[in-house]
Amino acid sequence: MSYRSLRDCVRDLEKHGHLVRVKAEVDPDLEIAEIHRRVFEKGGPALYFERIKGSPFPGVSNLYGTFERTDFIFRKTLDRVQKVIELKADPTRFFRTPLRYSGAPFTALKALPLRSPFKAPVRYSQTRIDQLPQVKSWPMDGGAFVTLPQVLTLPPGSNNIMESNLGMYRIQLSGNEYLPNEEIGLHYQIHRGIGIHHTQYNQSEAPFRCSVFIGGPPAHSFAAIMPLPEGLSELTFAGMLAGRRFRYTRKNGFYISSDADFVITGIIKKQGKKPEGPFGDHLGYYSLKHDFPVMEVERVYHRK
């Protein structure tokens, strides 16, 4: 099915026995992460935390904890997307096996980003950074992190969302020298898409606007991490994988994912980094504290 939101996905997983609810209050400081790891190691279900200490918002984890569950989430679109990727990587495939790829161009065209004519669901209300679940995964982590954000930037002078970069770069919500509710840290390297944009903005007088999307249809998160063929936009890929076009709006010069659960908008400082980390990495060791770019927070939007 085509998920219009992360909530749709949660309901679908629960209906088919792939998700369980945790009704007891849980602490985002180490406890949620430990529960998640134990369930993941056993090949267990996705987890929906109804009550998170210190936050009015629920949370979900382990959505992609098994190949079976990931295949289930994308069961309606994976085959069509695979054909588009194959054709983009090698267009001559179309002439060798035209029947297999006859629908691929239409799949891509029908997945182009769509500007929403109405107020986006994610702009239901606003909150503060400290009201988000402050998840800390390991004892020596430098603060609370979001590890699956979708970070969108555009090059200077561009208002064409097809020229954007959507990447997954962890963000630090608290700790170290960040001003509470005013600054967050971004962890990225200069050779990444956002890093290239940063270099371009250093040579421009334009402010370096950045939008961070959290949640939304699962396809949006996957699009942010996929190594796509040259010329295939992450947003188009998100639309193909979701079976529904990527919806967006603009507010105060920022691009906003209409279907995200949270959107953080702000300006990345061109100069003046701050310490980010330590962070317990998935490779099994702590990434040590180093200076990384800082984003000055403008707004934090959330769904109902």
Active site residues: 281
User: 15: Cβ–Cβ under 8 A, 6 or more apart, which residues?
Assistant: none
Query: What is the end-to-end Cα distance of the chain in Å, rounded?
Result: 22
Q: 251 forms bridges with which residues in the sheet?
A: 254
CA atoms within 13 A on the CB side of 130: 6
Give the integer Cα–Cα distance in Å for 139 and 174.
14
Give the integer Cα–Cα distance in Å for 228 and 101.
18
Tokens read off for 251: 């507010």
User: 66: Cβ–Cβ under 8 A, 6 or more apart, which residues?
Assistant: 43
Tokens 């107020």 correspond to 119
Q: How many CB atoms lie within 10 A of CB 159?
A: 9
Virtual torsion, Cα 219, 220, 222, 226, nearest 10 deg: 120
- Bridge pairing between strands 247-251 and 114-115: parallel
- Bridge pairing between strands 19-22 and 46-49: parallel
- Bridge pairing between strands 46-49 and 59-61: antiparallel
Give the integer Cα–Cα distance in Å for 177 and 63.
32
Q: Give start and end residues of each alpha helix (H) in 90-233.
A: 93-96, 98-101, 104-109, 193-202, 218-225
